[in-house]
């Protein structure tokens, strides 16, 4: 999608602080972090939201979560814990129409959510 900010980041048209990239996933630091560690993980292929997933996307989504786990270890937040968030739709807080996973850590998370 040509006007998608995450697609532009993936293509390198918008600068970002990348922490991971392979053929399927790109991960970069959030420019407005909500925690000491706040990384966004996005599929390199544009998918608007969780609602657009099909059975063919199962491997990709599994890979996204595996990369999140690896990054949590790399960022030294795995042992104490971290939060993974996927927002879907306007009521779910999704502001960019491209599936993305937030990895938040480095401090105790606050409750309640929502």
Concatenate the DSSP letters of all residues of the chain into one string: -TT-HHHHHHHTSS---EEEE-SSEEEEE-SS-SSSEEEEEEESS----GGG--GGGHHHHHHHHHHHHHHHHHTT-TTT-EEEE---TTTTT--SSS--EEEEESSPPPS---
Catalytic residue among 46, 100, 102, 111: 100
Rounded CA-CA distance 37/111 in Å is 18
Quick check: is 111 catalytic?
no
For residue range 68-91, list pLDDT tens digits in order: 999 999 999 999 999 999 999 999
For residue range 55-64, list pLDDT tens digits in order: 999 999 999 9
Rounded average pLDDT over 10-39 = 97
For residue 39, what pLDDT band results from cuts at 50, 70 and 90?
very high
Domains, the chain, ranges and CATH?
Answer: 5-105 (3.30.428.10)
Question: What integer pLDDT is reported at residue 58 of this predicted model?
Answer: 97
Question: What integer pLDDT is reported at residue 112 of this predicted model?
Answer: 73
Q: Is the pLDDT of residue 114 over 60?
A: no
For all residues of the chain together, what is the average pLDDT? Answer: 95
Q: Is the pLDDT of residue 1 over 80?
A: no
Question: What integer pLDDT is reported at residue 111 of this predicted model?
Answer: 79
């Amino acid at each position: 999608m040509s006007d998608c900010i995450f697609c532009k980041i993936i293509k390198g048209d918008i600068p970002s602080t990348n922490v991971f990239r392979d053929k399927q996933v790109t991960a970069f630091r959030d420019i407005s972090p909500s925690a000491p560690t706040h990384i966004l993980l996005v599929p390199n292929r544009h998918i608007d939201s969780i609602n657009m997933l099909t059975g063919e996307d199962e491997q990709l989504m599994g890979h996204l979560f595996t990369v999140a786990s690896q990054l949590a270890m790399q960022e030294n937040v795995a042992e104490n814990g971290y939060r993974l968030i996927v927002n879907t739709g306007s009521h779910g807080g999704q502001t960019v129409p491209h599936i993305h996973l937030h990895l938040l850590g480095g401090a105790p998370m606050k409750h309640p959510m929502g």
